[in-house]
Structure 1
């Protein structure tokens, strides 16, 4: 009480001695100083997120729309094609421009690399460029004769579809990679059409990846919920021992755990040998190099990511709710369904989202255990990054996967988000 009566006169004295403007300025400076301190505390985190998260994603999105081959290697051709209307064959000037730049690439020994890059969109571009370069190099082309000469070397130069394909590749930025990632392409009239059935790959693989991720998430929920419940309700000594067993996989490498599943699931592995010795099977089961092996191995690897969020939520559930329900005559089953399970839903949903996102991007386990039929979309992204070097297509596929995951998370947050959860 004494302090309150002492401080109040002091504040009044300060407010009386300082002019109103000076007092307001002092308060503003103090507020700005506090905001600056708060911002400085957040700067390291913002810098980390920007450098290691936002910038890589931005670079990936930019790379997915880049198509610089024609505009960089054949800039005059790209500029001329941009002005070509596409209703009839180009004029002699455009033929001459293409011919001269093909010869220049041949002299610079860059024609093979340029043809390979163009081949990713236009399937016969490399052979067309090489054949045209050889034909033009072996002849003396008089001015005004590039049209007839190039058409005579290869009939494809006399088709509007060939020029239309080149026109679509002329801009430095285009949606070509996204079309390829969605099994689409430009036809000879410049319209977007589906790829031939034999070349439709990515959409089916993407759907299969999402279905596999959902299945693995469901399995982890079914297997992880009872385990998390035991960890939250058993005595501390037993619970701590089980928690060590749950955390044990984190102490070993992902590659080691995947290799262990390869030893277990292979034709002469532990599981097949055990079943054979028990007389349950006559020949080894196909447990590896298929989707079954991928799902089993990934479920085991991702299970701790489901258990830990559920355990943290279940551990914080107040037991007085369940005791009150029992005291009012509710059965154990009804108490669990209407009281305990709704309270544990935040942990279940958090674990489900975490497992689903991790499952959509897994690479090592499907590559080693899944084989050809057990691969997911991440394996194709890695293939284009490491083998085919089609980084634009890899970036487009990864961007589409990112967008799908963000949309699904937004739907989840709107439908079954934590704010929408109510006690049943």
Structure 2
């Protein structure tokens, strides 16, 4: 048999790149370089988000369980408290009092005892003044020579001779605590375990319920008002639609504080709305409506403020719905209502979903509007969080409230995804 008829049995070698390296390895190296360049481009943004957003939020959330104040300020006392059985009802022995005086002398020199008193005052009223007043006299004591200290401390303030005082210190001497979360749901950490707060202090659960219910009402109000406006925007001629869009966007050009203050003026009993109702004869001058400093005022003002956030997602979806769909439905015998309800409305649902999520999440975290027009009956849980951050300085409780609010939002988001499907949410 001639060589021309011999089968080609040569085995082809690996495909090489221009530089002689295997093509597969060369492609992998090229992709790796491209990924590194892409990471280098977005690295400044990632670092900015990490430093200015993720780390501060993580630090704040950690405050909801962090409780090192007692252990850091009274290290010797905390050790002795571990050996004291609070359930017997007996006072601690002299050794614990001596350790407490030694810790307090150091804390007073560092001016940390007042901070400790403030921390314990969150759990039991009067602890702040106890540490502040006792500090003036304890700093004169010498832990090495002025003992015994049990009777001296009781003479300084009789509360040092009460079992409850030491029980509170021991209960809240742990480094990681669930006390803030218990306080956030109207309970408290006690030597006997978690217990309900006194009746006059149970307000936070009420605020959580009010926040969720009113946010749902505001969301539904925005849907009802935004749908016809979005429909007009999507179906009017371009010139009229542009003018209407300017009116929708106009509130964004005005300060939120100004808009909220304007509603405060309009909703008063002697305000514009009541004056118009009296002029129309719908109410008498003696029975003007109370629309301010209550839930009604908060709902009205927040619906107006959040309405554009509902209109824009709806409009962006509705403008993609072809008019031919409705004409086709009518040509097959559908009435105007049937064509709308069976064809147009289902196609607009993604816009409703996007706007609802946006408005609901914004509303549960709103602070300025409920603070100005809500009074005591229309405030949200966010107002309480702001109070604990800026006034009471109970950052641990504020962090716990924020964490619970975040968890509620995530749960509702998860439920929405299971029921409706987040993939069906569109912004256009």
Same-fold call, TM > 0.5?
yes
Structure 1 match to 2:93: 91
Question: 74, 94, 104: which is aligned to 1:102?
Answer: 104
Q: Distance in 2 between matches of 1:373 and 1:309?
A: 31
Question: 369, 372, 384: which is aligned to 2:376?
Answer: 372
Q: 1:411 to 1:127 in 2, by over 3 A?
A: same
Q: Distance in 2 between matches of 1:24 and 1:219?
A: 59
Q: 1:85 to 1:299 in 2, by over 3 A?
A: same
Question: 353, 357, 373: which is aligned to 1:353?
Answer: 357
What SS does structure 2 have at the residue aligned with 1:250? Answer: helix
Structure 1 match to 2:62: 62
CA contact (8 A) 1:67 1:171 kept: yes
Q: 1:41 to 1:19 in 2, by over 3 A?
A: closer
CA contact (8 A) 2:215 2:364 kept: yes
Structure number with higher helix proportion: 1
Structure 2 match to 1:402: 406
Kindly state the Cα deviation for residue 281 of structure 1 after the two structures are TM-superposed.
Answer: 1.9
Structure 2 match to 1:168: 171
Structure 1 match to 2:234: 232
What SS does structure 2 have at the residue aligned with 1:65? Answer: coil
Q: Which moved more, 1:381-390 or 1:17-26?
A: 17-26
1:206 aligns with 2:188: no
User: Residues 360-385 of structure 1: CA distance to partner in whole angstroms, max 9, x if unpaired?
Assistant: 11111111111222211111111111
TM (norm. structure 2) is: 0.86
Kindly state the Cα deviation for residue 111 of structure 1 after the two structures are TM-superposed.
Answer: 3.6
Q: Which moved more, 1:390-399 or 1:291-300?
A: 390-399
Structure 1 match to 2:330: 326
What SS does structure 2 have at the residue aligned with 1:167? Answer: helix
CA contact (8 A) 1:115 1:125 kept: yes
Q: 1:225 to 1:99 in 2, by over 3 A?
A: same
Kindly report which structure 2 residues correspond to 1:6-45, keeping only aligned pairs within 5 A, or say none: 15=15, 22-45=22-45
Q: 1:134 to 1:250 in 2, by over 3 A?
A: closer
Q: Distance in 2 between matches of 1:220 and 1:183?
A: 32
Kindly state the Cα deviation for residue 51 of structure 1 after the two structures are TM-superposed.
Answer: 2.9
Kindly report which structure 2 residues correspond to 1:185-224, keeping only aligned pairs within 5 A, or say none: 185-189=188-192, 191-224=193-226
Q: 1:79 to 1:322 in 2, by over 3 A?
A: farther
What SS does structure 2 have at the residue aligned with 1:268? Answer: coil
Q: 1:207 to 1:341 in 2, by over 3 A?
A: same
Structure 2 match to 1:50: 50
Q: 1:20 to 1:230 in 2, by over 3 A?
A: same
Which stretches in structure 2 are left out of the alignment for 5+ residues?
1-11
Which stretches in structure 1 are left out of the alignment for 5+ residues?
1-11
Kindly state the Cα deviation for residue 180 of structure 1 after the two structures are TM-superposed.
Answer: 1.2
User: Residues 8-52 of structure 1: CA distance to partner in whole angstroms, max 9, x if unpaired?
Assistant: xxxx99946869853232112111122223333433443343233
CA contact (8 A) 2:16 2:22 kept: no
1:302 aligns with 2:306: yes
1:414 aligns with 2:421: no
Q: Distance in 2 between matches of 1:267 and 1:419?
A: 46
Kindly report which structure 2 residues correspond to 1:244-323, keeping only aligned pairs within 5 A, or say none: 244-279=246-281, 280-283=283-286, 284-323=288-327
Q: Distance in 2 between matches of 1:19 and 1:113?
A: 69
Kindly state the Cα deviation for residue 149 of structure 1 after the two structures are TM-superposed.
Answer: 4.6
Q: 1:104 to 1:41 in 2, by over 3 A?
A: closer
Kindly state the Cα deviation for residue 109 of structure 1 after the two structures are TM-superposed.
Answer: 5.2
Q: Distance in 2 between matches of 1:169 and 1:371?
A: 34
Q: Distance in 2 between matches of 1:370 and 1:270?
A: 18
Q: Which moved more, 1:295-304 or 1:129-138?
A: 129-138
Structure 2 match to 1:363: 367
CA contact (8 A) 2:416 2:422 kept: no
What SS does structure 2 have at the residue aligned with 1:373? Answer: coil
Kindly state the Cα deviation for residue 252 of structure 1 after the two structures are TM-superposed.
Answer: 0.8
Q: Distance in 1 between matches of 2:411 and 2:26?
A: 47
Kindly state the Cα deviation for residue 192 of structure 1 after the two structures are TM-superposed.
Answer: 0.4
Q: Which moved more, 1:360-369 or 1:67-76?
A: 67-76
Q: Which moved more, 1:411-420 or 1:84-93?
A: 84-93
